[in-house]
Amino acid sequence: MLTSGPGKFLAPTSLGAGYAVAKMLSLRAVDAELAIAQDFFYQFLAGVLLGFALRPVANMIYWKRSSSIIVFSTFLIALGPLGQTFRHLLWGTPLNDAFWSQIIPEVIAAIFVGMMVTFLLPSSQQVISPGFLWRRLKQEINIPGTARCWDADLPTCCCLLFFRSHLMKVMPPHSGQIVCRNFCTCRRFLRT
């Protein structure tokens, strides 16, 4: 069992190796020159840190293998590639081929790590299934209230992102930061 004794250190290390191998192989498939520029050792260390961060969550919650793969892959994709995409959209940097050649291997590595976690860090009992999660989600979420929030907030966020990216294209460099600082200062002034 990889949850006690030396195995509890071996499993996150194996997860780190799996993350590094998955990322480097997917980088090699997408862009061979970018794979040469990446350092395997740093990818391995990032995977080991990821393994030690996921170990308490994987051990303490009684996931079935299918729900564990879904939850961990979604979690890692939301924190990694999706967060990077939103950051690029927010700052107005282009989503060109170089960006996508880095994001696609991140998604592949996140899905691979989500599958490896279930086997390397198994829980003692396997109770929580995807059906149970879906029933619980339907019971807890207020659909009309959530729809109202999305109806009001989503267009506002899209407009702000559009205007932010438009301002970054029209204004000279670094003036967007000045506009943001002035906007925050004006908001603080209006509150007082």
- pLDDT beyond 80 at 181: no
Confidence of residue 142 (pLDDT cuts 50, 70, 90): confident
Work out how many domains the chain is built from and give that number.
2
> Is residue 155 a part of any domain in this protein?
yes
Task: Specify the long-range contacts of residues 61-66, CB closer than 8 Å, at least 24 apart.
Answer: 61/123, 61/128, 62/123, 62/124, 62/125, 62/126, 62/127, 62/128, 63/118, 63/123, 63/126, 63/128, 64/126, 64/127, 64/128, 64/129, 64/130, 65/118, 65/119, 65/126, 66/129, 66/130
> Per the domain annotation, does 127 fall within a domain?
yes
192, containing H or E segment? none
Q: Do 125 and 156 belong to one domain?
A: no
For residue 188, is pLDDT > 70? no
Residue 132 in domain: yes
Q: Which of 45, 46, 39 shows the shortest CA–CA distance to 24?
A: 39
* Residue 2 within a domain: no
Range of the domain at 13: 7-140
Report the predicted TM-score, pTM, of the whole model to 2 decimal places: 0.67
Question: To the nearest whole percent, how much of the chain has pLDDT over 70?
Answer: 80
| DSSP string covering 32-79 | HHHHHHS-HHHHHHHHHHHHHHHHHHHHHS-B-HHHHHHHHHHHHHHH
Q: Are residues 19 and 61 in the same domain?
A: yes
Within a domain: 91: yes
Residues 63 and 75 in one domain: yes
- Give yes or no: residues 130 and 148 share one domain: no
Q: What percent of the chain has pLDDT over 90?
A: 2
pLDDT tens profile 35-83 = 777 778 888 888 888 888 888 777 777 778 888 888 888 888 888 888 8
The better pLDDT of the pair 16, 4 is held by: 16
> Quick one: pLDDT at residue 167?
58
Q: What is the mean pLDDT of residues 75-98?
A: 83
| Residues 6+ away with beta carbon under 8 Å from 101 | 27, 30, 31, 34
List pLDDT tens digits, range 103-132: 888 899 989 988 888 888 777 777 888 888
